[in-house]
Amino acid sequence: EPEVTQTPSHQVTQMGQEVILRCVPISNHLYFYWYRQILGQKVEFLVSFYNNEISEKSEIFDDQFSVERPDGSNFTLKIRSTKLEDSAMYFCASRKGFLSSGANVLTFGAGSRLTVL
């Protein structure tokens, strides 16, 4: 079964450092997403990405955050200068996006846990 792969599974960083979280979406998927879940809280939408540009972003996704699809497979989330409150599990997800069966089903990665000290 095709998977969304995320690396690293866990990253510990110092406040103020830059962090890049990587995702490899399913190869024939066209829409890509980042979500985050602070420990004990609900999952929150960060950003959606389609056709090499951001299609939607939340208030959380401020200037400290950026996303990129540098090649045909990776989809990255960069946090420029991490803050303590960025500590969370970050989930990447993708979906196919054509009008066909399963086109709108989201497939999530296993998550990347970020700890900011």
Partner 1 sequence: KNEVEQSPQNLTAQEGEFITINCSYSVGISALHWLQQHPGGGIVSLFMLSSGKKKHGRLIATINIQEKHSSLHITASHPRDSAVYICAVRSRGSQGNLIFGKGTKLSVKP
Contact set with partner 1 (CB under 8 A) = 31, 33, 35, 37, 41-45, 48, 50, 55-56, 58, 89, 91, 93, 95, 104-108, 110-111, 113
Q: Which is nearer to partner 1, 14 or 27 (CB)?
A: 27
- Shortest distance, CB of residue 14 to partner 1, whole angstroms? 23
Q: Cβ 110 to partner 1, closest distance in Å?
A: 5
- Output the smallest distance, CB 111 to partner 1, in A: 5
Question: CB neighbours (10 Å) of residue 87?
Answer: 18
Closest separation in Å from C-beta 81 to partner 1: 25
Task: Tell me whether residue 20 or residue 110 sits nearer to partner 1 (CB atom).
Answer: 110
Cβ neighbourhood burial of 102 (10 Å; 0-12, 13-18, 19+): exposed
Collect contacts of 96-99 with beta carbons under 8 A, ≥24 apart: 96/26, 96/28, 96/29, 96/30, 96/31, 97/29, 97/30, 97/31, 97/50, 98/30
Q: Which is nearer to partner 1, 27 or 42 (CB)?
A: 42
